[in-house]
């Protein structure tokens, strides 16, 4: 009886560890594809996209809610939206936004996620206070991170030139990051 009490929890822990290990393998496969797309600046083909999305979904199946897995799926959906693969563009971008927001709910101090949300709002052509709040959050938790600096460099001039009322909310942090 004593052995059974020890063996059952060990089996459960082994299964859980195996599940997380499989999730990480699938995540890495998806991540490799996204990194290749970033280097090549385009998708190789529709099959590559679908395989990456499948890997991300499997990673989430084995470890649902993991922040990195949510974010890699969001990035894949963004690439698909840009290439016209998969769901309609607006649907894919809304789903990506929900995945990023889900990630921020458990890791609100990841600046790259907030920066990705601000950039996603740009891609959705939604210039509003929500975009500004994402930029502010990114700056507050990681003003020195490359993702935050890039988001400010790219969004700052657009906001300054076309949405001055929104730019006023981020102008001080934009200038502190060395932008003019």
pLDDT in tens, 147-172: 999 999 999 999 999 999 999 999 99
Phi, psi dihedrals of residue 55, rounded to the nearest 5°: -60, -45
Give 118's contacts (C-beta < 8 A, 6+ positions apart). 131, 134, 135, 138, 151, 155
Q: Is the pLDDT of residue 52 over 70?
A: yes
Q: What is the pLDDT of residues 78-128, one digit of tens each?
A: 999 999 998 999 999 999 999 999 999 999 999 999 999 999 999 999 999
- Using an 8 Å Cβ cutoff, are 114 and 138 in contact? yes
The pLDDT of residue 57? 98
The pLDDT of residue 1? 66
Question: Which helix (H) or strand (E) is 156 found in, with range?
Answer: helix 146-162
The pLDDT of residue 25? 93
The pLDDT of residue 19? 80
The pLDDT of residue 164? 97
Residue written as token pair 């299964």: 15
Could you give the angle at the alpha carbon of 155 between the alpha carbons of 113 and 111, nearest 5°? 20
Q: What is the pLDDT of residues 9-49, one digit of tens each?
A: 766 666 666 788 899 999 999 999 999 999 987 767 899 99
The pLDDT of residue 180? 77
The pLDDT of residue 18? 72
């Amino acid at each position: 009886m004593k052995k059974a009490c020890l063996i059952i929890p060990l089996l459960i822990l082994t299964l859980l560890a195996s599940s997380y290990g499989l999730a990480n393998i699938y995540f890495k496969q998806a991540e490799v594809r996204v990194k290749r797309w970033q280097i090549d600046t385009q998708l190789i083909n529709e099959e590559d996209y679908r395989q990456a999305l499948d890997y991300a979904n499997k990673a989430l199946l084995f470890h649902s809610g993991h922040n990195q897995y949510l974010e890699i799926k969001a990035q894949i959906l963004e690439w698909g939206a840009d290439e016209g693969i998969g769901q309609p563009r607006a649907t894919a971008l809304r789903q990506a936004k929900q995945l990023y927001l889900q990630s921020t709910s458990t890791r609100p101090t990841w600046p790259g996620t907030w920066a990705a949300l601000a950039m996603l709002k740009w891609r959705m052509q939604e210039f509003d206070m929500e975009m500004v709040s994402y930029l502010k959050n990114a700056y507050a938790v990681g003003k020195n991170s490359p993702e935050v600096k890039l988001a400010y460099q790219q969004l700052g001039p657009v906001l300054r030139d076309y949405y001055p009322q929104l730019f006023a909310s981020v102008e001080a942090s934009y200038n502190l990051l060395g932008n003019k």
